[in-house]
Every structure is written in structure tokens, then in C-alpha cells.
């Protein structure tokens, strides 16, 4: 375990959370926060610029670390981790001036002369807990709005992606103000020690089970949380969908990062007739991307560890393999796999798959899709492929989900102005762009009164004249 920060009393090489002096770490950051340095928009800009510089200067090392942790192809790692985070930074730099501005609000007659406005202010010291599947992006993308909003932050990368975690811990203090930001590496003991502390906000990305631990720890201090969780995201394909384009986009959405994406399509929902055309098309699209032997493709990822590889491999027994199905647990390889005839009570249809196995639920009638989705927990993402606007709109209106995309998978992530977050068991709160700035800010209501005159209406003694006047001014 390492702590990369400014205060040597908070640094420890001990192998457990006990070696981490989390309270000293937070106290140091809080003192710095109260110095007012982070409130200066110029400082925020400079820190965002430095974060970008860290990514650009060390692009090769980050791509190597991601290759080591997840066998990510350099192009994929660049697109989904490095470039995606740089895009967030650029967007924040472009809009920061507007975001930090106070917003005018109207002032009622009874408070005249006066003016009212809403002033965004930083929350203080925030904790960002990252997940392993996009170990760079899911750690740094939330940091961007935390900086933009003027906070100090502690980052806790996922221990399951050790190369990326170590690299962030090494580089971040070299580029950012280490009085304001720290990286704490480690696993459950370190995270637990951090969660004991009073934070001004916690943003956690990961599974719901740990999400509950985070939320109950936060409740002890009445700390607000943003929980970026997961779930089973349905992918609905209507009979009128363009099959070739749909198949290609689904294969991309499902098999990127070997299916270890929180917003990957979890299962396919279509009629039997559409399945007959769609499944061979997904197989063709997958072969076009990764060849006849995906295990030899440098562009196809590996599962994060053999425990998860075994978990995913077990799902394959829950249905009939339409294509794929090969596994090599030792080498963390699971082939892109389509499953048919899957029982609804099996694990593959009860748990979030988070791997490259795609079960297909074939319905007699497309009209059943809505109920199928609504009989289950609210998902993080909902995908609808159709040429009909009314089909898309009906499903969007009737099925709740954190995010939704019509005729593509995952691409809403690229739109900086869209909030990213779940609903119900798939999460709470959101970030990206200004939504992230809001997450890490308090919108303080301010009214400024003038000394010009002072109506005596609200002061006792309460007379009939005052009552009548008050009615008029209301």
C-alpha cells in the first residue's frame, strides 16, 4: 500500500489499512482547502492543465499499464481511457468560466431593494473510489469536475488493476498540487480506513454490494454520495432494425474490453424471427473485428483475473452456445460468446454478466419487451434498435434506465452535456460535464439586501395596516 501525498505523517509502507493515517491525510487536505487556494478559478485551470499534461506526457506508460492489467489494445485504451479523460478536461476548461459564475435569481417585492443569486461553492475534501474495468478513466474522469469545482480529493484506484493504480500513484503527485490531491493505493483495509473519515462527498464506482458499504459509512457523517453502479442493461432489437449495422454496434458494445463495461449490453431481447437474422450477423461482425481465433487477436481483451474468468465461464453452462464458448481460465480468456435458450432463473439471467457472454432472450411477440424490462431492476443503460421513432419513443417513455441509446451502444458517454449515472439499484447521482461540476459543488442561495430603506411590515407590533399591505405586496 502506498500513499502519494504531501504529508509524511500520512505516508506508510505498511501492508494493511492500519498503516494508513487516514485522519491525518484528510486533516492535511482540509487545512489546505480552508486556505482558499482551491477556490481560485486560476488554480483550478492550472491543475486541470497539469492533469492533461500528465496524460499526454505519459501516454505510452498508461497504455502499457492498461495492456498489462486488461490486455487492452492501445487504440481501445487510448480511445476509452486516455482520450476520453482528456476530452473531459478540455470540456471543463472550455466551460469553467461559465460554471463558476453566480446565477441570478429574482428577488420578491418584500425583499426589495435587494438582489438574489446562486453561488456555486466547492464542497471541501472529497473521496473518489475507482473500479478496475476502466481503471484510469473511472478514477480521473470524476477528478476533473472535483478539481473544476474547487475541491481537494483523495483517489482510491482499484487494487484489481495494479499496474494502472501504481502508475497513477507515481505520477499524479508529480503533476498536481500534492497539498490538495492524494492517491491511496490498496484494497479493502485501506478503503475501509478511508471510509471511516468525514468527507464532503464520496463518488464510488463499482458493484452495488460495496455501494451499500460506502453509503452506510457515508451516512455516519451525513456525507452525500454519488454511486456509479451496474446492473443488467437490456438490448432490445425490433424487427424493423437494420440488422447489419445493429449487429456490428452490438458486437462492439458487448465485446469491447471483453465485455467488462458497466454499460455493455447485458442481454439481447428480440423476436425469434429477428434472432434468426441477428445472431449470424453478430457472429460475422465479431469475426470481422477479432478474426477466427479471438484469443490470437491483439485487439481482444482479457478478464481482469481468473476468479472473474471462472465466474463468467460458469455462465456459459446456462444456455446453448450459438457461437464462441471457449474458455481458458488460467490465461483469463473467454471467447466472445452468444447463448440461446437460456432459462430466466439461471445465474446468467439473474446476475450482471460483466464479461463477453451475451444471452439472447427470444420472444414470440415484440410487444412483450416492455414488460420483460419492467419486471426487472432499473438498469444502468437501455438500448433500443429500431427504424421506428414511435417504437423507440414508447420504450424510452415506459422503461426507466440510467441512460439510454437508440440504434447504438454506449455512445452517450461521448456527449459531455449528457449526465452519466444510474437510477434505483444502478446508481444515484451523476457526473460528466457540468453535471459533474454540480455533483462536486454546493449551490449556495445568497440574498444581498440594501440599507436604503427598511419596510417595517415584518416587525411587531403587527397592525391591521401592515396586514393589508402585506396582502398587496404578496
- Choose the binding region for ligand NAD from 57-65, 126-134, 250-258, 277-285 (rule: CB under 6 A): 126-134
Q: Sketch the per residue contact string, 226 through 265, with ligand NAD: x for CB under 6 A, - otherwise.
A: --xxx-------------------------------x---
Is 122 a binding residue for ligand NAD by CB under 6 A? The answer is: no
Count the residues of the shown chain that bind ligand NAD, applying the rule CB under 6 A.
28
Sheet containing 320-323: give its strands across. 320-323, 337-340, 357-363, 267-271, 234-237, 381-385, 403-406
CA–CA distance, 212 with 216 (Å, rounded to integer) = 6
C-beta of 409: minimal distance to ligand NAD in Å?
15
Q: Which of residues 25-64 bind ligand NAD (CB under 6 A)?
A: none
Q: Which of residues 331-390 bind ligand NAD (CB under 6 A)?
A: 352, 354, 380
C-beta of 181: minimal distance to ligand NAD in Å?
17
Question: Using the 8-state DSSP alphabet, how is residue 178 labeled?
Answer: T
Write out the DSSP string of 25-71: HHHHHHHHHHTTGGG-HHHHHHHHHHHHHHHHHTHHHHHHHHHHHH-
Q: Which of 58, 80, 151, 158 binds ligand NAD (CB under 6 A)?
A: 158
Is 310 a binding residue for ligand NAD by CB under 6 A? The answer is: no
C-beta of 43: minimal distance to ligand NAD in Å?
28
Q: Could you identify the residue written with the cell 460483466?
A: 354
Q: Sketch the per residue contact string, 168 through 207, with ligand NAD: x for CB under 6 A, - otherwise.
A: -------------------xx--xx------------xxx
Is 159 a binding residue for ligand NAD by CB under 6 A? The answer is: yes
Assess contact for 90 and 84: CB atoms under 8 A. no
Please tell me the number of Cα atoms within 13 Å of 145 on its side-chain side. Answer: 30
CA–CA distance, 144 with 92 (Å, rounded to integer) = 7
Torsion sign (Cα): 190, 380, 364, 358: negative
DSSP strand pairing (357-363 vs 103-105) = unpaired
Is 228 catalytic? The answer is yes
Is 159 catalytic? The answer is no
How many other C-beta atoms can be found within 10 angstroms of the C-beta atom of residue 246?
A: 26
| Per annotation, catalytic residue among 86, 152, 235, 262 | 262
Assess contact for 177 and 151: CB atoms under 8 A. no
- Choose the binding region for ligand NAD from 83-91, 125-133, 237-245, 266-274 (rule: CB under 6 A): 125-133
Is 427 a binding residue for ligand NAD by CB under 6 A? The answer is: yes
**Which residues lie near ligand NAD (CB under 6 A)?**
129-133, 138, 156, 158-160, 187-188, 191-192, 205-207, 210, 213, 228-230, 262, 352, 354, 380, 422, 427
Residues labelled catalytic: 228, 262
Amino acid at each position: 500500500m502506498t500513499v502519494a501525498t504531501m504529508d509524511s505523517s500520512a505516508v506508510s509502507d505498511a501492508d494493511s489499512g492500519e498503516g494508513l493515517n487516514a485522519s491525518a491525510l484528510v486533516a492535511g487536505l482540509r487545512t489546505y482547502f480552508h486556505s482558499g487556494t482551491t477556490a481560485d478559478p486560476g488554480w483550478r485551470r492550472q491543475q486541470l492543465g497539469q492533469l492533461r499534461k500528465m496524460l499526454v506526457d505519459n501516454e505510452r506508460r498508461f497504455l502499457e499499464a492498461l495492456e498489462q492489467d486488461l490486455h487492452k489494445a492501445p487504440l481501445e485504451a487510448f480511445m476509452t481511457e486516455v482520450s476520453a479523460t482528456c476530452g473531459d478536461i478540455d470540456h471543463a476548461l472550455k466551460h469553467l468560466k461559465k460554471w463558476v459564475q453566480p446565477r441570478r435569481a429574482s428577488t420578491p417585492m418584500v425583499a426589495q431593494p435587494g438582489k438574489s443569486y446562486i453561488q456555486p461553492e466547492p464542497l471541501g475534501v472529497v473521496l473518489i473510489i475507482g473500479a478496475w474495468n476502466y481503471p484510469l478513466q473511472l478514477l480521473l474522469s470524476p477528478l476533473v469536475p472535483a478539481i473544476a469545482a474547487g475541491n481537494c480529493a483523495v483517489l482510491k484506484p482499484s487494487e484489481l488493476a495494479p499496474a494502472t493504480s501504481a502508475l497513477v500513484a507515481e505520477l499524479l503527485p508529480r503533476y498536481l498540487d500534492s497539498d490538495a490531491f492524494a492517491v491511496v493505493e490498496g484494497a479493502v483495509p485501506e478503503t475501509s480506513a478511508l471510509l471511516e473519515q468525514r468527507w464532503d462527498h464520496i463518488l464510488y464506482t463499482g458493484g452495488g454490494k460495496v455501494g451499500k458499504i460506502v453509503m452506510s459509512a457515508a451516512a455516519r457523517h451525513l456525507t452525500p454520495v454519488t454511486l456509479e453502479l451496474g446492473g443488467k442493461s437490456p438490448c432490445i432489437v425490433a424487427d424493423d432494425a437494420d440488422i447489419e449495422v445493429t449487429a456490428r454496434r452490438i458486437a462492439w458494445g458487448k465485446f469491447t474490453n471483453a465485455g467488462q463495461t458497466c454499460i455493455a449490453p447485458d442481454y439481447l431481447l428480440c423476436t425469434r424471427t429477428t434472432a434468426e437474422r441477428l445472431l449470424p450477423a453478430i457472429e460475422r461482425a465479431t469475426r470481422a473485428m477479432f478474426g477466427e481465433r479471438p484469443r490470437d487477436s491483439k485487439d481482444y481483451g482479457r478478464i481482469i483475473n481468473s476468479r472473474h474468468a471462472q465466474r463468467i465461464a460458469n455462465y456459459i453452462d446456462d444456455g446453448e452456445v450459438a457461437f464462441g464458448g471457449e474458455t481458458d481460465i488460467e490465461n483469463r480468456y473467454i471467447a466472445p460468446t452468444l447463448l440461446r435458450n437460456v432459462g430466466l432463473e439461471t445465474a446468467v439471467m439473474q446476475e450482471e454478466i460483466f464479461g463477453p457472454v451475451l444471452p439472447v432472450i427470444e420472444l414470440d411477440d415484440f410487444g412483450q419487451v416492455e414488460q420483460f424490462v419492467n419486471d426487472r431492476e432499473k438498469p444502468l443503460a437501455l438500448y433500443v434498435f429500431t427504424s421506428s421513432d414511435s417504437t423507440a419513443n414508447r420504450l424510452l417513455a415506459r422503461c426507466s434506465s440510467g441512460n439510454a441509446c437508440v440504434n447504438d451502444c454506449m455512445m452517450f458517454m461521448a456527449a459531455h452535456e449528457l449526465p452519466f449515472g444510474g437510477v434505483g439499484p444502478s446508481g444515484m447521482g451523476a457526473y460528466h460535464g457540468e453535471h459533474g461540476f454540480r455533483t462536486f459543488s454546493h449551490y449556495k442561495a445568497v440574498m444581498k439586501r440594501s440599507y436604503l430603506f427598511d419596510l417595517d411590515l415584518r416587525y411587531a407590533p403587527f397592525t391591521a395596516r401592515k396586514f393589508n399591505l402585506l396582502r398587496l405586496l404578496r
